[in-house]
């Protein structure tokens, strides 16, 4: 599973890049808002171009803001034309269904935009996926990535049952039992279950679209996304860093440091002196 950073913050992107394990970056309008505020960004276009330069060689997803076919298609073309020449690494993020109001007749505008942008050779990351069916249609329309939102799916299942919860806490893959019933969203028991079903459907039909697990809030969820076969996980920086944590690792380090005998240290000192 490839690791992407879920952030539009240039300093976070540089930091994650320096770890040498980063294979992509995803942004969305909320992440852009957060970064622009945190870094007091004066010129957003220049800032985005800087992100793209820093990420040369790995994909960066930029999202459209429209909520109908025409706007999304035009914005996708504009974003690609304006930003892709910088480092040739732009993917356009298109919501699967841009409707803001139930029954506004725009349900299919997402797949139409995906199809039209794909026809122009523009790679699409289809976002806001909450059902395997949405993922299937996005892939058929030509999306290169589909982004199921695991954390938000877990939120939805808990909210629908009226539960109080902390978004960062682990949610069981197999779902939560409440009385006799296991909480679910039309047969989806958790965000990770959603990812697993998409992976299975794509495998059944040899669909090459990659499953990008999004909205991951804790290390265990990242592990579970890998276990169910997600191709990519997009993760906030603090969660990437917490993937490296374990109390016993720290304890072990302290022990090894304390036990190091002078003769052993000397070997390293000699080579350090030589390097000087
Ligand atoms: C993915 O591309 C989304 O930007 C992101 O993962 C959403 O995460 P959140 O639900 O924690 O906001």
Residue pair 211/231 in contact by the 8 Å Cβ criterion: yes
CA 137 to the chain's CA centroid: 20
* Ligand 1 binding pocket includes 6 (Cβ within 6 Å): yes
Percentage of the chain lying above the pLDDT 90 cut: 97
pLDDT, mean of residues 199-215: 97
Mean local confidence (pLDDT), 188-194: 98
- Residue 101 pLDDT exceeds 90: yes
CA–CA separation, 54 vs 67, rounded Å? 30
CA of 125 relative to ligand 1 center, distance in Å: 13
Contact 191, 151 (CB under 8 A): yes
Q: Where are the domains of the chain?
A: 2-247
Neighbouring residues of 9: CB distance < 8 A, sequence distance ≥ 6:
31, 34, 35, 38, 39, 237
What pLDDT sits at residue 132? 98
Q: Is 125 in the pocket of ligand 1 (CB under 6 A)?
A: no
- Residue 272 pLDDT level (bands cut at 50, 70, 90): confident
Band the pLDDT of 115: cuts 50, 70, 90: very high
Contact 207, 220 (CB under 8 A): no
Mean local confidence (pLDDT), 179-197: 97
Give me the torsion for CA of 150, 152, 153, 157, rounded to 10°.
Answer: 140
Q: Please give the residue that has the higher pLDDT: either 201 or 179.
A: 201
Q: Which fold has domain 2-247?
A: TIM Barrel (3.20.20)
Catalytic residue among 17, 37, 49, 93: 93
Closest CA to 154 of 216, 233, 228: 216
93 among known catalytic residues: yes
**pLDDT exceeds cutoff 80 at 276:** no
pLDDT band at 124 (very low <50, low <70, confident <90, very high): very high
Q: Is the entire prediction scored with pTM above 0.85?
A: yes
């Amino acid at each position: 599973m490839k690791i992407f950073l879920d952030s539009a913050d240039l300093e976070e992107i540089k930091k994650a890049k320096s770890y040498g394990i980063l294979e992509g970056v995803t942004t969305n309008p909320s992440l852009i808002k957060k970064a622009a505020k945190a870094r007091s960004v004066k010129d957003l276009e220049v800032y985005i171009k800087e992100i793209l330069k820093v990420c040369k060689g790995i994909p960066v997803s930029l999202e459209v803001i429209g909520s109908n076919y025409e706007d999304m298609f035009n914005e996708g073309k504009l974003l690609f034309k304006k930003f892709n020449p910088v480092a040739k690494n732009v993917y356009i993020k298109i919501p699967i269904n841009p409707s803001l109001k139930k029954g506004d007749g725009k349900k299919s505008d997402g797949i139409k935009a995906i199809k039209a942008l794909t026809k122009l050779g523009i790679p699409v990351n289809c976002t806001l996926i909450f059902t395997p069916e949405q993922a299937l249609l996005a892939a058929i329309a030509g999306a290169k990535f589909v982004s199921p939102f695991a954390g938000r799916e877990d939120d939805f299942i808990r909210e629908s049952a009226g539960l109080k919860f902390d978004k960062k806490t682990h949610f069981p893959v197999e779902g939560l039992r409440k009385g006799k019933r296991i909480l679910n969203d039309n047969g989806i028991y958790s965000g990770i279950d959603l990812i697993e079903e998409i992976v299975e459907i794509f495998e059944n039909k040899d669909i090459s679209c990659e499953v990008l697990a999004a909205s991951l809030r804790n290390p265990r969820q990242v592990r579970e996304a890998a276990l169910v076969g997600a191709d990519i996980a997009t993760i906030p920086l603090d969660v990437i860093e917490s993937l490296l944590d374990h109390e016993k690792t720290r304890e072990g380090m302290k022990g090894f440091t304390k036990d190091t005998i002078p003769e052993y240290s000397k070997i390293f000192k000699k080579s350090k002196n030589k390097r000087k």
